A and B are shown apart, each in its own frame.
Chain A
Amino acid sequence: DAGITQSPRHKVTETGTPVTLRCHQTENHRYMYWYRQDPGHGLRLIHYSYGVKDTDKGEVSDGYSVSRSKTEDFLLTLESATSSQTSVYFCAIGSRDREGIADFGPGTRLTVT
């Protein structure tokens, strides 16, 4: 299995609090992605990164920010969590020599009450 870990795996937080999810990889892959998955919507891309300090928005980026200060870590931050951000969050990684092939992490289940 690809070396991808996500932390925490489960989190319950209150509306209005900041939350940071971490994705860590040991594959030295250039590309990293954050997706969210909700019933009825499937997986949707939030943000992605194509290198250290190089990030861009995906389909559903409002309310989220990301940072990538080193190759192995990609952080997703909810500045002020809302109930609509209750979801399962998946991190994925990819490399230039495996185009279109992404390896996904185990997911983080976030509940905002």
Chain B
Amino acid sequence: DAKTTQPPSMDCAEGRAANLPCNHSTISGNEYVYWYRQIHSQGPQYIIHGLKNNETNEMASLIITEDRKSSTLILPHATLRDTAVYYCIPTKNSGGSNYKLTFGKGTLLTVNP
């Protein structure tokens, strides 16, 4: 599995966009990039994933660089409820099987009023 590097912490003002970077320079061709978050004391929550194209859903946008060595999760209008630890997780996709996620230390995003 690819190793990841994420800043340990970031701050963001409420209502502003939060841009969370992740470096995964050793990612292999069949690894997707998954993002999860964990709000204090709760179980992790899936946010979004992608292979090489940018993705958007109701929670966030994911920008993956062309060389796939890094990605950025964007929360377009952060709220106080977005305060959480965000994990970037490269995971293989071999078609038809689910995977064992490997969590790193993630980024603690604090949204300030």
B101 to A, closest residue via Cβ: A102
Smallest CB separation, A45 vs chain B (Å): 5
- How many interface residues does chain B have, given as a range? 20 to 34
* CB within 8 Å of B: which A46-62 residues: 48, 50, 58
List B residues at the A interface (Cβ < 8 Å).
Answer: 32, 34, 41-46, 49, 91, 93, 96-106
Which of A65-73, A75-83, A104-112 contacts the other chain?
A: A104-112
CA–CA, A102 and B35, complex, Å: 11
**Contact (Cβ within 8 A) B106 A100:** no
Q: Is the interface of A mostly helix, strand, loop or mixed?
A: strand
Chain B contacts for A106, CB-based, 8 A: 42-43
A-B contact count (CB 8 A): 62
A43 to B102, CA, bound (A): 8
Interface of B: prevailing SS: loop
Q: State the CA gap A52–B99 with chains docked (Å).
A: 17
**Complex: chain B residue closest to A92, CB-CB:** B43
Q: What 3 A-B pairs are tightest by C-beta distance, nearest first?
A: A104-B43, A94-B98, A43-B103
B100 touches A48 (CB 8 A): yes
**Which interface class (under 10, 10 to 19, 20 to 34, 35 or more) fits A?**
20 to 34
A-B contact pairs, 30 of them (CB 8 A): A30-B98, A31-B98, A33-B100, A42-B103, A42-B104, A43-B44, A43-B101, A45-B102, A48-B100, A50-B97, A92-B101, A94-B99, A96-B96, A96-B97, A96-B98, A98-B98, A99-B32, A99-B96, A99-B97, A100-B91, A100-B98, A100-B101, A101-B46, A101-B49, A102-B46, A103-B46, A104-B45, A105-B43, A107-B41, A107-B42
Evaluate whether A100 and B96 lie within 8 angstroms (CB atoms) in the complex, with A42-B105, A43-B103 already known: no
A interface residues, Cβ below 8 angstroms from B: 30-31, 33, 35, 42-45, 48, 50, 58, 90, 92, 94-96, 98-107
